[in-house]
Homo-oligomer: A and B are copies of this chain.
Amino acid sequence: LTDDAGTLIDALRARLAELDDLGRVGGLLGWDQQTMMPPGGGPARGEAMATLERITHERATDPALGELLAELADGGGGGGDHEAALVRVARRDYDRARRVPTELAGEMALAASEAQPAWLEARERNDFAIFAPFLERNVELRKRYADCFPESEHPYDALLDRFEPDATTAQIRDVFARLSTGLVPLIEVIAAGPAPPELPGPFAIEAQRELALELARAIGYADDAWRMDDAVHPFASSVARTDIRVTTRFASDSLTGLFATMHEVGHGLYEHATDPALDRTTLGTGVSMGIHESQSRLWENCVGRSLTWWRHWYPRAQDLFPDALGDFPLEYFHRAINVVRPTLIRVEADEATYSLHVILRFELELALIEGTVAIVDLPEAWNARMKELLGVDVPDDRQGVLQDIHWAFGELGYFPTYALGNVVAAQLWKAAREALPDLDDRLAAGDCAPLRDWLRENVHRHGRALMPAEIIERATGGPLDPQPFLDYLEAKYRPLYRL
């Protein structure tokens, strides 16, 4: 490395450190908004976040950054692995940010903020027509966004890329086709079978909180670098690699809060275990929403809904909830937390049906971008496809096309990553089990260290230094593939439902 290149890379690092700091500060504002802020703080918080985003965008698209990256690309960079990745990722971010005119970004933000109250009102009144013009505007702006990337094979690729870098519409379409082909008959046969036992209750909130914290600590939550709070919609946020905030929500009539906790701790663990060398580089964070969701789903479902896991934890749960679970056998509990039923609402869907909810949204987003479904026809298209995929009748738009906030935010391209999470989680789970022959025994003994270490080594530490496809390829020896997820579900449900 020449002195010049050293100076250039230092200059790049300084700019990335600033961008990273600004991003983390924005994250803290969001976390605070959803956990701590008194309601009166809302309008001012919106202004402060917009200011921060504007400054961040200004710095992220500063032509001087572009010049620096160009010099580094001309042979200036190229030290260790990380430095090459730094230049590559920073250049990708810069190029993509520069493609989108500031005015368009502003219009997108404005349209999204105007659409949200309209969506809320439409949902409340069960009247899609109220939301339709705002959705139309969001879709139109997303098309203009896609136009900024004319080299894409499909305009939807540009939308996908914001959440899943390098993913293509063709690839997702293929994976989702294989996924629904496998899922639809599996779900049908389960749904036709006998009803699983219902989980008794109630479950005192404070005891749930205690157990949730114990599960979290077993997975990797550490008191000196994490915190856990309540939020209406649970999420995880990385204020820093050593300042991880997970949120959860408990209800006394179910244990969903425990699974939400394991889910969010899975997200948190990814952020917590990135390579410290990537701190303050913008690369020390999850590489995509799909890979992120694989980490949450793996802990929530592959681990958290397994018989193995509860072999260790169920006695503790029975201690904490003696009235509800004292006489309820472990095997019943395992079936009760693995109910599969086609239902209307995505966020309440089980592990098997969930992906079909996502596939439906992906298909409709594509249709909107391709113009093959008009906004006005969207509710009907939704309902028809729900019937085909899940066999359910949608009674009203509130429980159908109006249920999610994502389209009010204009976030097309986001939904697919939820199903990718399931797919990748199963691929990683398979690979980890092959690599760690005693994994089940260790989990059954309450020891998460082997799995945690494997995930750190194969996924977490890379941050954004590897692309999602590289992570999957290196960790599993193959490309994105829905088969392990289908195999995993079969292997789990066949004995459980005596299929």
Contacts and interface: CB of A to CB of B under 8 A. Distances in A.
B224 A38 contact: yes
Nearest to A48: B21
Interface stretch (A22-30, A63-71, A104-112, A414-422): A22-30
A57 interface: no
How many copies of the shown chain assemble into the complex?
2
A41 B239 contact: yes
Interface in A211-237: 222-227
Given A25-B52, A28-B29, A32-B32, A242 B47 contact: no
Contacts of A222: 40
A41 B279 contact: no
A40 B227 contact: no
Given A44-B240, A44-B242, A51 B22 contact: yes
Nearest to A280: B47
Given A21-B48, A51-B18, A280-B47, A32 B41 contact: no
A21 to B, nearest CB: 4
A40 to B, nearest CB: 3
A240 B41 contact: yes
Contacts of A55: 18, 55
Given A32-B32, A44-B240, A225 B51 contact: no
A38 B280 contact: no
A48 B24 contact: yes
Given A226-B38, A243-B38, A44 B32 contact: no
A17 B46 CA distance: 13
B243 A21 contact: no
A162 interface: no
A36 interface: yes
B223 A44 contact: no
B36 A225 contact: no
B279 A38 contact: no
Contacts of A43: 240, 242
Interface string A222-264: 1111110000000000011111100000000000000000000
A91 interface: no
A437 interface: no
A51 B279 contact: no
A448 B262 CA distance: 48
A21 B50 CA distance: 9
Given A41-B239, A45-B240, 11 more contacts: A18-B55, A21-B48, A25-B52, A38-B225, A38-B244, A39-B224, A40-B225, A40-B240, A41-B240, A44-B279, A48-B240
20 contacts: A17-B47, A18-B55, A21-B48, A21-B51, A21-B52, A36-B227, A40-B222, A40-B225, A40-B242, A40-B243, A41-B225, A43-B240, A44-B239, A44-B240, A44-B242, A44-B243, A44-B279, A45-B240, A45-B243, A48-B240
